[in-house]
Structure 1
């Protein structure tokens, strides 16, 4: 939004879509625009100042929506989108190479989704993806269950990835292992603005007659 506003661009194209990621349990995530929650976590567990870190909370979101009149367009929701067909076209026509899994375009996000969330919180994101694909008719329930019998990560690469992530985070591998195996906590264990944000978003939807499509 910030970059688009800088160049007076009102429309942002997103690759988000219902066909492959339309279903996600509420208890698996929280509102990324809760700045109170973000700042508390950073202040409590971080060791660097975030004075120049670009934050995007609900105030910034409402400013860009209501004042700058910006909109996000989810193009893939307007076509019969098939992830497999898209990957085939990218491979054959653009020499694209598959990187191995959902969000594995980044080692960090790939590790978080496939290993960290699975081992610490028992969250397997493939379940949400398959649920969406089953509803879209892209896969069958039997096919999805067969895939879920496999681990969500490559055991042979897990240790190297943990070492890589620990180094990037500036902590020792032992410290990282302790974090992974420490008792799991939810966002409600920390200060947050959930009630206030829910009220704001519900009010916005009522005023502008918007349908509630997410958890917030």
Structure 2
């Protein structure tokens, strides 16, 4: 099966998966689109990438995932990641933090945790200068946290699941990325480092009890950096 979608770097990404006995180079069906979307001529940067993904899917007989509009990502995290975090922590969670790309991880886990404890603080992690979720103007669209914070609010965003936005700078993210590798043996990427940087800042802020537990995810590896 072939999947098409926009990458964080602005290029269309083509991924191929070959089931046993199938020829990955020969598409087996007509192209389909995950959602209709808007006109490419009026689209912004992300919308142009999405239009490119739909075009590739149609031309090569692939399936366009359309992850920004598909509800499956949020539902998957609400039904799996969130309950797993709750079970492994024995329900001792005071805060949940995550950087936001499509918003699926943040929203799905937040919904699952809030269903079990409405007092859990849910914080979105955004790059300093690029905080549309906080309602701020974007002054720094280019940042290190790839795969997140595209300068706009995701289509299926739910404001009621976010208590606050936490900004992290490129310098903080780089410092935490190196610290996680050298001190903890965790070779992660910038998105994961941003999550940890924000979690540490929240724990230091005094907003939570001294013995609070803040949970986040290490959502990418450092292999490509």
- Pairwise same-fold verdict (TM > 0.5): no
> What TM-score, normalized by structure 2, do the two folds share?
0.28
Going by fraction, where is helix more abundant, 1 or 2?
Answer: 1
Larger RCO (CA under 8 A, 6+ residues apart): 1
Task: Identify the structure with the greater strand proportion.
Answer: 2
Larger radius of gyration: 1
